[in-house]
Amino acid sequence: MSGKTIGLLGAGRIGAMHAGILAKKAGKLVVADPASWRARRVAELHGAEVRSPEGMLASEDLDGLVLATPTDTHAGLLCEAARLGVPIFCEKPVALDVESTRRANAAAKEANIPVHVGFQRRFDAAYSAARERLAEGEIGDLRRVHMGTLDQAPAAREFLAASGGIFKDCLIHDFDALRWVTGLEVEEVVVYGTDLGLPDFADFADAAEAVVLLRLTGGVLSTAHSSRFNGAGYDVRMELHGTKGTDVVGMDERLPVRSLEPGVAYPREEPWADFIARFADCYERELDAFLGVVSGRAPVPATIDDALASLRIAIACGTSLREGRPVRVS
């Protein structure tokens, strides 16, 4: 236990999960949510104190703050919370547009506070191993990367409306992992996608199914695909193909596929249901890292600059989908 007082602003699905972790690791947990009943429910479960969002943002006893509110509120709250002068953990993305992300970054720099952005795949053992093995030359020169994030079922309409869409909400994790694992930058994207004629996607110019081709620095090629309707289960994978070998992240006994090869039984266990189950250990390690930042013992593992780089890729994908053409990332 860190002995630190941590504020949690946002007590929805992801906030409630963070609360369960922080209640075990922080000295004191304080919870706030615009819907006071959500804050009370989470606080009662974990023995936390309840404050109003306004009270939280005026608190003088916090050592750190976790922002887990809806995506479209992150940047404004981060700018306001920077005045507290304490380290902030912000769920991704920091904002839905470049200018708001820059304003949040400027506010953090002016306040001289560290901001840790929530890209939890950086704390996954397999992604970390892929990064290390690639850097050590174990698979030779990288030639191709294939990635995917497929949800078993879509989130509620109100979440989709505020999420920024499939590229900023879902595939942005793949874009961050691609940059972090390979050390390369994305130069250009081409996207195909469909809303399936469903209002929950069409009304927000979003896609329910999407496939992205990405050209990286050095001529490396990558694909990324995503779905809100992967009925077999939650599927996250990354394949790295090199001149000496191929490494795969996500090919475990809970992979939601079925092999049709004779005599092969795969997978043998129940498929992952959602991202919280798949990355439970990563979320815990991620908040451990944030508490290290709060204590001054550790550097920030994922910065607003990292978030901005991945956001630019997501924005380029949205432009490509709308305009039906290749788009350079800028």
Q: Are residues 186 and 322 in the same domain?
A: yes
Q: Are residues 74 and 185 in the same domain?
A: no
Q: Are residues 16 and 43 in the same domain?
A: yes
Least Cα distance to 216 among 146, 155, 264 occurs for 146
At 196-243, the pLDDT tens digits run 999 999 999 999 999 999 999 999 999 999 999 999 999 999 999 999
Cα(240)–Cα(63) distance, rounded to whole angstroms?
40
Q: Are residues 291 and 214 in the same domain?
A: no
Q: Are residues 69 and 159 in the same domain?
A: no
66 bridge partner residues:
8, 89
Q: Are residues 181 and 259 in the same domain?
A: yes
Q: Are residues 107 and 233 in the same domain?
A: no
CATH number, position 108: 3.40.50.720
CATH number, position 176: 3.30.360.10
Q: Are residues 46 and 129 in the same domain?
A: no
Q: What is the pLDDT of residue 299?
A: 96
Full residue range of the structural domain in which residue 227 is found: 124-279+310-328
Q: Are residues 257 and 130 in the same domain?
A: yes
Cα(199)–Cα(205) distance, rounded to whole angstroms?
9
Q: Are residues 255 and 158 in the same domain?
A: yes
Q: What is the pLDDT of residue 268?
A: 87
Contacts of 186 (CB under 8 A, 6+ apart): 175, 178, 179, 214, 215, 216, 222, 313, 316, 329
The domain tally of the chain equals 2
Distance of CA 53 to CAs 46, 72, 77, 199, Å? 18, 16, 10, 32
The reported pTM is: 0.96
Cα(119)–Cα(93) distance, rounded to whole angstroms?
9
Q: What is the pLDDT of residue 140?
A: 98
List the chain residues with pLDDT less than 70.
1
Residue 102 token pair = 């820059």
Q: Are residues 102 and 139 in the same domain?
A: no
